[in-house]
Amino acid sequence: MLNFIPNRLALTVLISACSIILISMGLRQTFGLFFSAFEEGLGCTRTEFGLAIGIQMLFWGMFAPLFGLIADKLGGNKAVFIGFIIFGLGIYMLYAGPNTGIYFQISLGVLVGIALGATAIGVPVSEVGKHFPNESRTIATGIVTAAASVGYFLSPLFTKYSLGLVGWEQTLKYFMYFIGLGLLASLFLSPSKTILNSTQVDRDQTFASAIKEAFSHKGYILLVLGFFVCGFQITLVGTHIPGYMQERGMGGWSATIILALIGFFNIFGTLGMGYLGTKYKKKNLLCILYALRAVSICIFIFSSPSLVNSIIFGTTFGLLWLSTVPPTNGIVAQIFGTKYLSTLFGIVFLCHQFGAFAGAFLGGYFFDNYGSYDYAWYMAIVLSIFATIVHFPIDERRIKRVDNTI
């Protein structure tokens, strides 16, 4: 079963990354469940809440390449450890204060966002990618992304129960304990001792030339644009699905069921996509995935609200949730190699977070100004069609570098 793992260090890093991303992404997924508590306890509007999540997404994106560079130069363990320290500070401010007005934006938005740049998706997935050859990389990264799914499944259930039992302040205090476990796990995210599938020219490449090369490649630009759509959609759902279900007359547990099902079925989606990425062109898989997202959203918003409809949406969108990550990361590694994988994927992820900001902010903005989330859902459908189109022309072939010193 573990034949695809090349060595003990790779296994250690894989387990460490799974633990890190389970904690970080699991906690991040629950913030939408706090919106009523923050409205009552802190007096924030949905626009302010959406803005905080949007700022979080932006800072997550802006710091993903920076922490990616730290990981590429010094090791992912150092980058993630710093990230969890900042994560803890943000959560502490959020429940202990100051936590209203601008401080609400700083704690939930800026600090948690910076922390996610190190602890969520970019660095852990890319560090694992450096330890595995191209033939098994998407499977390995699929396993890491599936660990986020476990967090997605368990965290909303725990958070909903805890909010009802002990309130939002104590629930956030519990989050601090999980962050402590993340700090411990980060110590084992050790850097790879070799650059896999590389030539001397690849190993000698500078950071500046890697960035220039990436942005001169049309496929990389298209990948960046396509990932914007992923960010918009998953953040719209993760942030505003509780408010949307309330708007449609459904109880609070309906949103929790959707988020939990998304987390559970994302396990199968990411593992399946990781496997398919070893068999088929990754760009074609991304085209199919975004087209199916459009179908899933259409069925959800144009059908009558019901428990069955909630279960169908949670299941189908869960299969498609983070399934974009293994093929997207795999394409970057396949084209450019792994030396600057954390940085280059971090830049792709930055555009993902621009989309996440738009999804979080516009969801709240449309509701506060028009009394409905419908326009945000319509945008999500149109963007799915856009992403389906832009991934098709990507050339996945490895770049051939020339040694100019000869």
Q: What is the pLDDT of residue 256?
A: 80
- Those residues with Cβ within 8 angstroms of residue 255's Cβ, 6 or more apart along the chain or in another chain: 32, 33, 241, 242, 244, 245, 246
Q: What is the mean pLDDT of the chain?
A: 87
- Arithmetic mean of pLDDT, 214-225: 93
- Those residues with Cβ within 8 angstroms of residue 116's Cβ, 6 or more apart along the chain or in another chain: 24, 28, 56, 59, 60, 63, 83, 87
Q: Which residue has the tokens 């954390």?
A: 342
Higher per-residue confidence, 16 vs 242: 16
Sequence letter at residue 123? V
Sequence letter at residue 35? F
Question: Would you say 202 and 339 are in contact if contact means Cβ atoms under 8 Å apart?
Answer: yes
Q: What is the pLDDT of residue 300?
A: 93
Q: What is the pLDDT of residue 252?
A: 65
Q: Which residue has the tokens 């969108």?
A: 317
pLDDT tens digits, one per residue of 390-403: 999 999 888 876 65
Q: What is the pLDDT of residue 406?
A: 46
Residue 301 binned pLDDT confidence (cut-offs 50, 70, 90): very high
Task: Collapse the DSSP code of 195 into the 3-class scheme (helix H, G, I; strand E, B; otherwise coil) and give the result.
Answer: coil
pLDDT tens digits, one per residue of 304-334: 888 899 999 999 999 998 899 889 988 998 8
Q: Alpha-carbon distance 331 to 287, whole Å?
A: 13
| Third-level CATH fold of 9-188+202-390 | Growth Hormone; Chain: A; (1.20.1250)
- Arithmetic mean of pLDDT, 31-49: 83
Angle, to 10 degrees, between the axis of helix 122-131 and the axis of helix 112-119?
10
- The token pair at 380 is 């999500």
Residue 1 binned pLDDT confidence (cut-offs 50, 70, 90): very low
187-196, 217-226, 286-295, 372-381: lowest mean pLDDT where? 187-196
What DSSP string describes 232-276? HHHHHHHHHHHHHHHHTT--HHHHHHHHHHHHHHHHHHHHHHHHH
Q: Alpha-carbon distance 183 to 169, whole Å?
A: 22
Question: Would you say 356 and 236 are in contact if contact means Cβ atoms under 8 Å apart?
Answer: no
Q: Alpha-carbon distance 322 to 34, whole Å?
A: 22
Q: Alpha-carbon distance 140 to 142, whole Å?
A: 5
pLDDT tens digits, one per residue of 151-198: 877 887 898 889 889 988 899 999 999 999 999 999 999 887 766 555
> What's the distance, CA 107 to chain centroid?
19
Higher per-residue confidence, 17 vs 145: 17
Q: What is the pLDDT of residue 203?
A: 66
Q: Alpha-carbon distance 136 to 226, whole Å?
A: 24
Q: Which residue has the tokens 């490895």?
A: 398
